[in-house]
A and B are shown apart, each in its own frame.
Chain A
Amino acid sequence: MKQLYALICFFIVISCNSVSYSQGLSAGFLSGINFSDIHGNYCSGKWKYKSGASESIFIDYSINKVIGFQTGVNIATLYYEHVQYNELPRMYYLSPSSSSYYIPDLIYFRTSEKMDFTVLTIPAQVKLSIPSRPSVNLTAGIFYSFITDYSLNYVYSDEPSKRDFGWLFSTGLSYPLNDNMDALFDIRYMTGRRRFIEQAGYKHGSVDLRFGVAFKGFLSKNSDSDQTGKNDTVSSRISLTYKGGINISRNYFGDNSGSYSFYTGLSAGFSVNIKLAERTFFQTGLSFENTGYSLKDSSDSFHRYHSGLEPVYYVNTKIGTDYINIPAQLCILVGKPGNMYISTGPYLAIKLNARCTGEAIMESKDQGSYSLRKIVVYDDLNGLIRNNDIGWIFGGGITIPVFEKYSLDLGLQYRTGFRDIFNESFYSGMTPYKRGETIIRNRMLSFHFGVRTPVFR
């Protein structure tokens, strides 16, 4: 902990004495909560999103209004809890007429695996700012972290690793409160790359929601007041669209596809539109997408149709995967007014989480016994689903100008992945074709509604 305090003091001293530093230097703090998001090769039971504190101080060095670097120190407490399906052994039943014992009803309990870690993290990130109002900040980088404290209650004999490194990505908004201070809102996604329990294959991860303040006014007398955007002119080459919508996924085809049905999810994010020619734009961005499929049939598995002689469950589940989607599309305006467009291009989707939720009914008829169980299904499927997906997008839409600088964007998009989303290493490298199973690929129709805002020069 002494190291931690030393680092914090170091950054405070830097912050307070940074007047002499370059105009692009700013510092601040972010404070908020993290939701644990452990990763690993599991496919059963639920890892709860448990909240913990997350505190950061940072310094930024901006080369210009768009590109910069960011580092700092972050301390967070990660709480992990895994809940599994469990059921007490059946208690011997004594007839009330033959015994005075009171035998309570059957009790079902859950066992959980609990761990918590206090993690000191040092990130190193590249920052991309889109100078709008509020301005959008995107960062990506690496981190190195130290476990300063931990406690655990799990079945493995391994001691957890005390060091970690990994990737982090964040997106956020900064809003100028005055010439020297910006209010910040930030969503950060961190994923460790080192197994902290070798036996289990667990890797650290979290999603942080943070608010904070960036101080920049005292760094220089000629502070970056232009970054507030007050005096900027609107760029005619770049625009920004904040958008959200509904996805309808139909991810299944091939054998047994009748057991599956549509899945409805949400999407939210933004896109950056860069003008290439009079009626041609390049469009990229970042969006959170929730895609998947539904399974409703008798099956031996909760997450895909599989049936032996007599399926164990009647399953009614939804299998959803969260992705961060990064498109790279060419967008062409059509029609005389130029407010309609068509777009196409590839995309890269980075998996955040995957889960199977719903209900299953298990009817058991053995010789002389009958039981009917309702199972509330929640299986994290991170180990089963590939970490990323690539594919192609086709889309189109219409923009409707509102007010002076803004416009509404209504669009329809169809996206199809190139590969089966399931990790074939779980099936000894056998493809779904060879296994005779349904092909599951991301295929999604999404309707979005967005607001296009100007970007300042």
Chain B
Amino acid sequence: MDGLFKYRYFILLCLSGVIPSCTPDPSIEMLENYNFEFVSESGNKMLAGETSIVTIKAKNYLNRTDNRVKVIFDIIRGGGSVSEQSVLTDSSGYTTVSWQFGGDSLDQLLRASVYKLSGQYLTSADLVAYGFMENEWNGISCNPDGYITEMIADTVNRVTFMVASGHIYRQGSRYFLWEEVVDDNLVLPRTIEIDRNGVIYVSTWNGEVVKSTDHGESWKKCTKPYPEDPYYIFMSVANDNYLWAGKYDFPTKFSKDGGNTWQNAGDIISPFLNGNTFRLKSGALVNHGAKGTSRERLNISYDDGLTWISRETPGYSTVMYVNENDEIFIGTQENGFTIYQTIDMGATFKKVHSVFPQWGTTMENNIFTKWNGFYYIIVPGFGILKSSDLIHYENYWLNSDLNDLFIDHNGVLIAKDWDYKTVYYRKNSE
């Protein structure tokens, strides 16, 4: 005890140093750290059977001078092939292979499994791509085409434009590639139309009408149909190149001179325009629509749109189409969706076809589309009907998720899903 007491300060000094340091502090030490990425952008779109060059890059964060790893490629989806299945990266971490897209599905998935040179598995990286197949519906959810709302196709000048998410896009070198059209006059595009002369019209969310007479190269503003109102309008181009504009609580107007001047179309014409005005060979104008709930929805004008007479249509009709023989076809909500034909300017109607969709349609849809002698009729909630004469129909594609249908200048059918983000492409063989 004497000794202990004698050396007490030495003992305390030792204890004050030893005790705090006898346990390690918490810490984290990185032992290995790798990153692997495809240099190629994910979501690449090509045709099935085409070949893409794929480069993968490996990074060893803790030894930057040696990034060598072993990579084994596997085709997970799509059924394609790679030029080499097992490769080593160079010391910089790069390796490149060729990836041929398969024809099993639109989705193509290539997986790179990465191993250390010792054989220890590290991780994997996936590369997603899309291989579009002919004669198949290729459904894809992507930007911008997943959000398409309007489209026009100019088969003469071989251009197609669409409106998606408030922007105009021009179809690119492939039917599934789109390039944004940027022009100071194109502010918040809403709808797009084309006349028989190839003049393209765009209406905007602020009520402007903008047109291009050079197939989308340049754009200029037309006279604003409702200059006192800053909000959107409904716009349609008839088969006589008349430009129609409508707006709630305003009179419907039309322009005979490509949007330079506008005149009122009378009180009974619905402002809700959807490609529903046609010039007949007789010179009469026919229009579909009514203000309120009136069933007199077939409007006829014999004085170039100044005055109109209305006739009742069957089955709460929603849409109208006039074929090259001036036969008028009315789409109605009767029994789901029923098409009527009239050849006597609405005096009598003949039921020609009826289907039962899972949900009701609206007039916003582009119901009748014609290509290469055939009509394609989208029935939202049902699918697509095909007809050569609008009298006889076949079910072309039953898909209750469909909501709209467009066709590009090459005849590629482009259908839109009701989820507003999925689009289906179908290119039929020549």
Residues of A within 8 A of B (CB): 32-33, 35, 45-46, 48-51, 83-87, 90, 93, 95-97, 103, 105-106, 108, 110, 134, 173, 175, 177, 183, 185, 209, 211, 355, 357, 365-379
Q: In the assembled complex, which residues on chain B have CB atoms less than 8 Å from the CB atom of A373?
A: 28-31
Is there contact, CB below 8 Å, between B34 and A371?
yes
CA distance A65 to B16 in the complex (A): 34
B375 contacts chain A at the CB level, 8 A cutoff: no
CA distance A106 to B59 in the complex (A): 14
Is there contact, CB below 8 Å, between B20 and A50?
yes
CA distance A374 to B27 in the complex (A): 8
CA distance A45 to B23 in the complex (A): 13
Is there contact, CB below 8 Å, between A371 and B32?
yes
- Given A371-B30, A371-B32, A376 and B25 contact (CB-CB distance below 8 Å): yes
CA distance A377 to B29 in the complex (A): 11
Identify which of A51, A95, A175 contacts B16 (C-beta below 8 A).
A51
- Given A93-B59, A173-B1, A211-B8, A370 and B33 contact (CB-CB distance below 8 Å): yes
Is there contact, CB below 8 Å, between A365 and B126?
no
Is there contact, CB below 8 Å, between A375 and B32?
no
B306 contacts chain A at the CB level, 8 A cutoff: no
Is there contact, CB below 8 Å, between B28 and A357?
no
- A363 to B: closest C-beta gap in Å: 9
B92 contacts chain A at the CB level, 8 A cutoff: yes
Closest to B116 in A: A370
Is there contact, CB below 8 Å, between B24 and A175?
no
Is there contact, CB below 8 Å, between A108 and B30?
yes
B142 contacts chain A at the CB level, 8 A cutoff: no
Query: What are 27 A-B pairs at a CB distance below 8 A?
Result: A32-B12, A33-B15, A35-B16, A46-B25, A49-B19, A51-B19, A83-B25, A85-B28, A87-B28, A95-B93, A103-B64, A105-B62, A106-B30, A106-B62, A175-B5, A209-B12, A355-B23, A366-B123, A370-B32, A370-B33, A370-B35, A371-B30, A371-B32, A371-B33, A372-B32, A375-B29, A376-B29
Which 4 pairs of residues, A with B, have the shortest CB-CB distance? Answer: A175-B1, A211-B8, A51-B16, A368-B125
Q: In the assembled complex, which residues on chain B have CB atoms less than 8 Å from the CB atom of A49?
A: 19-20
- A117 to B: closest C-beta gap in Å: 17
B36 contacts chain A at the CB level, 8 A cutoff: yes
Closest to B17 in A: A51
- B153 to A: closest C-beta gap in Å: 39
Q: In the assembled complex, which residues on chain A have CB atoms less than 8 Å from the CB atom of B32?
A: 370-372
Interface of B is mostly: mixed
Is there contact, CB below 8 Å, between B2 and A376?
no
- Besides A368-B124, A375-B29, 20 more A-B contacts (Cβ < 8 Å) are A32-B12, A35-B19, A35-B20, A46-B23, A49-B20, A50-B20, A51-B17, A85-B26, A85-B28, A86-B28, A87-B28, A95-B64, A95-B93, A106-B62, A108-B28, A110-B25, A183-B4, A370-B33, A374-B28, A377-B26
B114 contacts chain A at the CB level, 8 A cutoff: yes
Number of residues of chain B lying within 8 A (CB) of chain A? 40
Is there contact, CB below 8 Å, between B31 and A51?
no
Is there contact, CB below 8 Å, between A367 and B126?
yes
B65 contacts chain A at the CB level, 8 A cutoff: yes
Q: In the assembled complex, which residues on chain B have CB atoms less than 8 Å from the CB atom of A183?
A: 1-2, 4-5
Is there contact, CB below 8 Å, between A378 and B24?
yes
- B60 to A: closest C-beta gap in Å: 9
B61 contacts chain A at the CB level, 8 A cutoff: yes
Is there contact, CB below 8 Å, between A51 and B28?
no
Is there contact, CB below 8 Å, between B126 and A96?
no
Q: In the assembled complex, which residues on chain B have CB atoms less than 8 Å from the CB atom of A366?
A: 123
- A200 to B: closest C-beta gap in Å: 18
Closest to A361 in B: B31
B37 contacts chain A at the CB level, 8 A cutoff: yes
Q: In the assembled complex, which residues on chain B have CB atoms less than 8 Å from the CB atom of A90?
A: 61
Closest to B64 in A: A96
Q: In the assembled complex, which residues on chain A have CB atoms less than 8 Å from the CB atom of B27?
A: 85, 108, 110, 375-376
